[in-house]
Amino acid sequence: MPAQKLPEVTTVACLLSIFLVPLAAAGLALMNVGLGRSRSAGHMMMASLSALAVAALAYFVCGFAWQGTIGSAGHALNLSGKYWNWIAAEPFFFRKVSFDGSIASLTALFQIFCVGLAALIPLGSGADRWHLRASCLSTALLAGWTYPLFAHWVWGGGWLAQLGVNYGIGRGFLDAGGASTIHVVGGLAALSVTWILGPRRGKYSGDGMAPAIPGHNAVLVLFGCVLSLIGWIGLNSAGAILFTGSEPYGTVMITINTMLAASASALTAAMVTKIRFGKPDASLTANGWIGGLVASSASCAFVSPAEAVVIGSVAGAVVIFSVEWFELRMEVDDPGGSVSVHAVAGIWGLLALGMFGQFQRPVSNVAGNLLPSTMSGMAPGQWLAQLIGVATLVGFVLPLTYGGNRLLNLFYPYRVSVEGERQGMDLHELGAGAYPEFVTHTDEFLPR
Amino acid sequence: MPAQKLPEVTTVACLLSIFLVPLAAAGLALMNVGLGRSRSAGHMMMASLSALAVAALAYFVCGFAWQGTIGSAGHALNLSGKYWNWIAAEPFFFRKVSFDGSIASLTALFQIFCVGLAALIPLGSGADRWHLRASCLSTALLAGWTYPLFAHWVWGGGWLAQLGVNYGIGRGFLDAGGASTIHVVGGLAALSVTWILGPRRGKYSGDGMAPAIPGHNAVLVLFGCVLSLIGWIGLNSAGAILFTGSEPYGTVMITINTMLAASASALTAAMVTKIRFGKPDASLTANGWIGGLVASSASCAFVSPAEAVVIGSVAGAVVIFSVEWFELRMEVDDPGGSVSVHAVAGIWGLLALGMFGQFQRPVSNVAGNLLPSTMSGMAPGQWLAQLIGVATLVGFVLPLTYGGNRLLNLFYPYRVSVEGERQGMDLHELGAGAYPEFVTHTDEFLPR
Amino acid sequence: MPAQKLPEVTTVACLLSIFLVPLAAAGLALMNVGLGRSRSAGHMMMASLSALAVAALAYFVCGFAWQGTIGSAGHALNLSGKYWNWIAAEPFFFRKVSFDGSIASLTALFQIFCVGLAALIPLGSGADRWHLRASCLSTALLAGWTYPLFAHWVWGGGWLAQLGVNYGIGRGFLDAGGASTIHVVGGLAALSVTWILGPRRGKYSGDGMAPAIPGHNAVLVLFGCVLSLIGWIGLNSAGAILFTGSEPYGTVMITINTMLAASASALTAAMVTKIRFGKPDASLTANGWIGGLVASSASCAFVSPAEAVVIGSVAGAVVIFSVEWFELRMEVDDPGGSVSVHAVAGIWGLLALGMFGQFQRPVSNVAGNLLPSTMSGMAPGQWLAQLIGVATLVGFVLPLTYGGNRLLNLFYPYRVSVEGERQGMDLHELGAGAYPEFVTHTDEFLPR
């Protein structure tokens, strides 16, 4: 492939936005820790650091080869005269990436952090009971296969991106900042993991009550929100530049939209919990904040600030009801709320793009060859493209992820022993507690 | 208004500096938490996140419309032949902002984070006793009215900025990084809030002694200082570019000045506390660090590194004495030290600009039309312009803020009940403690 | 000196990378705190903030004058017809730095943060027993003399950089991101400090056993790793631009290499500890992560991603064995593992550059005048240049640092009293604990 490049200033803006993305990982890791128990806190951080590392290496080894970038080598199916690009075929180990500021090299860098972020999402769901080794293997599967496959379809010139060109459905499936590739993919992995692991002991005691098991450190949870905001600014800005052809100037509105969506979502979540439970719930407000960020990711480049407020507000309410529905109706024990915050809010964000998205100018200079450049204003059928994307996520990616994790579970059982869970993950798996000098009372939530 | 733009590279430098500003918010929030009690820690973080969200939304709704930017529509009074621009008149909801990298759009983005930062300042003063709902309303007042009004006068081409053109007083009131708009405005709101709330129970027991109520986590306090440093670098750089016409190159010296002022201030604070109390005080040293950052904000673009060291050193001493004076003489119970750190150090920084400020080149390309471009070197009467600004803050903004908060207090009482304060804000207002698994001893500072 | 400048976009990329460097300081400070005891946690943060402040001021006063930049005034020895530039001779207080985006001004800014980072390294080794005042004086020595002297040799056009021109040894000693100047220099200071301080009471009880004294907060340790990553991205990018002539585009590969080295190193450390102790060790994995970052610093601009993985993997193993060797064989009590993580991994990184470094294009436009610009590919003798640099560090910088600290120790005894150590540094030196409301059990590791 010829090394396609962005203008120099755009490259620098994109690059420096990417540098901020690990703050989102730092934020999510702290939230997962804070929402779990103290006896598993060291384990959660260890699992988070390991997930970032495994994801980066797996993506380096084979993930990028299968994701590729627009215009890279790939395999295509010929369906009734149209080519459906379904997987890239770049060499492994970044061997053909030209590290001269090409779009491919920026994508490789960006994705190294994005896959890590996606890998943190299931950790929040598997808190307090997921083997470290198993979580590393599950991360390798996600970063080396599931994520790149779907990301190729969206960001690598694959068939979802081609829906516009091939069938005139909007501009094809669009996702500027990774609501689908990072968050829904990660959130569906989280759902698979909770199904495989089952709930924590003592969560559903059989008498119909599901006691809330509070997180052990609310300060970390809320601090994680602010760090995540900065990471998300980088995420949405870099993604919009790389994958939807935003100019650096466009990131001003993107950042405003990101902040407004998070703000509206958090306040809505606080108000909904206040109305339902009598008092606003800090953890759920934090989840609302992140849900707003997730929902903003898809459409941040294509909506007005006022629409971002609407998208955020809906996200906040959706997250709260989803958390409750999964916890009480589905008996999905998801300590970090990852399924609702990432998968559900992400799906909402994808659909919202179909509802509100406006395209002032051709989308995009990057994927320019894929899109009818004469369109402007609302794209006819964009909602359908988004719906097809969501259907693919739920109908294809979820089974794929569930199946893969189920298979891994056969060989490397995901769940720790009863004794290990009682003891806490820190002592059981790492041989040392996270807070050895602090006096804790840790038994009240376990069945006697 | 024609969409005024900066050169492309300058825009990118400004934009990426703005991305770092939320780290200042993260830092201040952690400091407020760490300086408060463990039983209110979750509440403080919840209030901080809510403040960021409410401030962003209030600024989006009406704040920006009233602040405006140089050259935007506004209302002016005709006083003896001179026009005094006192409020902007832009449409609400960012409706006329052109999101193409215009100065107006960068200002809107920057201010969304700055009003949040200002809103965190009173939270430190109201720790352990301020209703969450009331703090949100107070934030809305600050971000939607008080802040924009004053910021218009300084950064929006209002009458304080016009002092130079209208009456030849220096270059008009100058503040590169927000010492006045963010910190003194926030600090005066903090003072108003402490007056309205009164001291925490047990603080002034009537026997003339004011027991120090130590913060519950010194690690968070000092960690917050380092995060704030990065946020401040963004704040001072972006502010200098947007409001005083700095080139991106100028931010090198700005950053050096910011770091040196903080360093000198922290070490001075450590030495002063060592001399006065026998041992250096970690919390007050942290307050000194932030005080140095605040003091650097006004003048960072106009002084030499050596002068920044002097400004920082004075700030460190001023903060310590101010904390003591407010606590012991004025019986102002300000757990976060916000009044001294933000209002007092900010005022010092504003005056220091009048004492030390040098202008190598016309100030500024942004507000160029407001300033006699032939001046260079020390501006005659700059100290007077600064003094007029400070007088306006103390004489007008303080009463305005106090009055507004007093009014809100009538309808939504600010202070929680005695029972709530005893129980802790976390349990009382949120129904859950921040650290449910840790054993704490929390009663020693309450009167029996 | 004529104010040499980089292209405008390069300057902005460098500048904004520098803005991220304090995150590395934040990360290291948190790691030092988390790896120490709760009774010294506030003291460690206080010492860290003080170290950053003292280092900045000392570097401002005289450090920069002695480090200089390429082409600045200096002293040279004439050895057999060749000039050996051994120290710069700029005026104190940044008096001649032109703050217009010149390379000199960027270097001054970058180094203000780098010396602070170096100064944090010994704090980890002296945890729980090092007087605050003494650590400040030791920092002043490091930032005002030792660091600038050696950094002049590497980054200021001194004799190590001249090895290429003067004797045709490779391209002279190379270090893009500070593996030698920051980490080995800091790590050797850490070693000196442990020798002078001696082990903590109870560490080596005389019966041949060295009980592990676990850190008090594993969450801070692992969170510090993620923050450090971002700081390191800034560090390696800015260093490569300033000192080895990277273009902004080059930082894409640099960042990928940095992330991959850290990832490989952390996973290797986890696996080695798992094999040796039966369970992976979270603290040592974190140390491995940082060791990978340190090792990446020297060569990040000159190796491929695959080589970065190899360098990281070796670093991870080296750190673990080094920690064990120093702790058990050398009876060096180094709570933060600073000697192994910074000095040993740094030396490995320097040598790895000699083994793997490839130079696609002349190194560099900055030090252009020092390097035969016709070379490309592997530079003959580069390994020798690196070896000479390492020998200088071990054979000259270590004795210099040890001697200087020994001298300071005579006048300002480094170690606190037995009573102070028992009581904890917080109460003893600061008069207040870091966590006054939490119940801790702190006596189990002390001899009865």
Query: Mean of the pLDDT values across residues B131-145?
Result: 97
pLDDT (0 to 100) of residue C170: 87
pLDDT (0 to 100) of residue B208: 61
Q: Does A219 touch chain B (CB under 8 A)?
A: yes
Amino acid at C168: G
pLDDT (0 to 100) of residue C1: 41
Q: Does B240 touch chain C (CB under 8 A)?
A: no
State the count of interchain CB pairs (< 8 A) between A and B: 170
Yes or no, beta carbons of C112 and B270 under 8 Å apart: no
Calculate the CA A2 to chain-centre distance: 31
pLDDT (0 to 100) of residue B446: 46
Smallest Cβ–Cβ distance between A15 and the set C252, C267, C279 belongs to C252
Evaluate the CA torsion angle C322, C325, C331, C335 in order and state its sign: positive
Chain B residues closer than 8 Å to A237 by CB: 19
Residue of C103, C437, C439, C440 to mutate, testing the B interface (most B Cβ within 10 Å of its Cβ): C437
Whether the ipTM is more than 0.85: the answer is yes
Q: Is the pLDDT of residue C373 over 80?
A: no
Of the pLDDT bands very low, low, confident and very high (cuts 50, 70, 90), residue A118 is very high
What is this structure's pTM? 0.96
Chain A residues closer than 8 Å to B119 by CB: none
| Adjacent-strand bridge partners of B440 | C438
pLDDT tens readout for residues B306-341: 999 999 999 999 999 999 999 989 999 999 999 999
Calculate the CA C149 to chain-centre distance: 15
Yes or no, beta carbons of A101 and C248 under 8 Å apart: yes
In order of A49, B116, B436, the CA distances from A424 in angstroms are 19, 39, 16
Chain A residues closer than 8 Å to B23 by CB: 230
Of the pLDDT bands very low, low, confident and very high (cuts 50, 70, 90), residue A318 is very high
pLDDT tens readout for residues B62-97: 999 999 988 788 888 887 788 888 999 899 999 989
pLDDT (0 to 100) of residue B379: 72
pLDDT (0 to 100) of residue A260: 98
Q: Does A437 touch chain C (CB under 8 A)?
A: yes
In order of A202, B31, B320, the CA distances from B316 in angstroms are 53, 17, 7
Average pLDDT, chain C: 91
Of the pLDDT bands very low, low, confident and very high (cuts 50, 70, 90), residue B251 is very high
Of the pLDDT bands very low, low, confident and very high (cuts 50, 70, 90), residue A81 is confident
Q: Does C311 touch chain A (CB under 8 A)?
A: no
| Adjacent-strand bridge partners of C78 | C83
Chain A residues closer than 8 Å to C252 by CB: 15, 99, 101, 105-106, 108-109
Chain B residues closer than 8 Å to A16 by CB: 16
Chain B residues closer than 8 Å to A439 by CB: 438-439
User: CB-side exposure of B40: number of CA atoms within 13 Å?
Assistant: 31
Query: Mean of the pLDDT values across residues A158-173?
Result: 89
Average pLDDT, chain A: 91
Work out the minimum CA distance from A306 to partner chain C, whole angstroms.
31
Residue of A226, A232, A441 to mutate, testing the B interface (most B Cβ within 10 Å of its Cβ): A226
Evaluate the CA torsion angle B270, B273, B277, B278 in order and state its sign: positive
Contact A388, A173 (CB under 8 A): yes
Q: Which residue has the higher pLDDT, C392 or C69?
A: C392
Q: Does B13 touch chain C (CB under 8 A)?
A: yes
Among chain C residues, CA nearest to A105? C252
Q: Is the pLDDT of residue C398 over 50?
A: yes
Q: Does A211 touch chain B (CB under 8 A)?
A: no
pLDDT (0 to 100) of residue C82: 80
Question: What is the percent of chain B where pLDDT is above 70?
Answer: 92
Chain C residues closer than 8 Å to B283 by CB: 432
Distance CA B354, CA B170 (A): 9
Average pLDDT, chain B: 91
Neighbours of chain C (3+ CB pairs under 8 A): A, B
- In 3D space, the residue among B183, B315, B172, B157 whose CA is nearest the CA of residue B236 turns out to be B183
Chain B residues closer than 8 Å to C26 by CB: 223, 226-227, 230
**Maximum separation of any 2 CA atoms in chain A, in Å:** 69
In order of A42, A52, A427, B234, B270, the CA distances from A432 in angstroms are 8, 22, 5, 39, 36
Alpha helices in B278-367 (DSSP H): 282-299, 305-324, 338, 345-356
Query: Mean of the pLDDT values across residues C407-422?
Result: 95
pLDDT tens readout for residues C146-163: 999 999 999 998 999 989
Smallest Cβ–Cβ distance between B50 and the set A216, A267, A435 belongs to A267
Q: Is the pLDDT of residue A242 over 70?
A: yes
Smallest Cβ–Cβ distance between C41 and the set B13, B218, B277 belongs to B218
Tokens found for residue C213: 């004294």
CA torsion angle C29 C31 C34 C37 (round to 10): -70
Q: Does B18 touch chain A (CB under 8 A)?
A: yes
Contact A337, A128 (CB under 8 A): no
Contact C10, C366 (CB under 8 A): no
State the count of interchain CB pairs (< 8 A) between A and C: 169
Work out the minimum CA distance from A217 to partner chain B, whole angstroms.
5
Query: Mean of the pLDDT values across residues B173-187?
Result: 96
Smallest Cβ–Cβ distance between B251 and the set C15, C56, C438 belongs to C15
pLDDT (0 to 100) of residue C208: 61
pLDDT tens readout for residues B256-283: 999 999 999 999 999 999 999 999 999 9
Q: Does B436 touch chain C (CB under 8 A)?
A: no
Q: Is the pLDDT of residue C410 over 80?
A: yes
| Residue reference for tokens 């902040």 | A259
Is B122 exposed, middle or buried (CB count within 10 Å of its CB: 0-12, 13-18, 19+)? buried
Q: Is the pLDDT of residue B361 over 80?
A: no
pLDDT tens readout for residues C242-268: 998 888 889 999 999 999 999 999 999
Q: Which of residues 340-369 of C touch B (CB under 8 A)?
A: none
Yes or no, beta carbons of B263 and C426 under 8 Å apart: no
pLDDT tens readout for residues A271-313: 999 999 999 999 999 999 999 999 999 999 999 999 999 999 9
pLDDT (0 to 100) of residue A98: 87
Chain B residues closer than 8 Å to C50 by CB: 266-267, 270, 285
pLDDT (0 to 100) of residue B166: 85
- In 3D space, the residue among C341, C339, C393, C375 whose CA is nearest the CA of residue C149 turns out to be C393
Chain B residues closer than 8 Å to A11 by CB: none
- Backbone φ/ψ region at B93: left (φ over 0), alpha (ψ -120 to 50), beta: left
Work out the minimum CA distance from A245 to partner chain C, whole angstroms.
19
Q: Is the pLDDT of residue C448 over 70?
A: no
Q: Which residue has the higher pLDDT, B373 or B405?
A: B405
Of the pLDDT bands very low, low, confident and very high (cuts 50, 70, 90), residue B376 is low
Q: Does B263 touch chain C (CB under 8 A)?
A: yes
Distance CA A36, CA A216 (A): 6
Q: What does R_g of chain C's alpha carbons equal in angstroms?
A: 21
Chain A residues closer than 8 Å to B49 by CB: 222, 225-226, 266, 285-286, 289
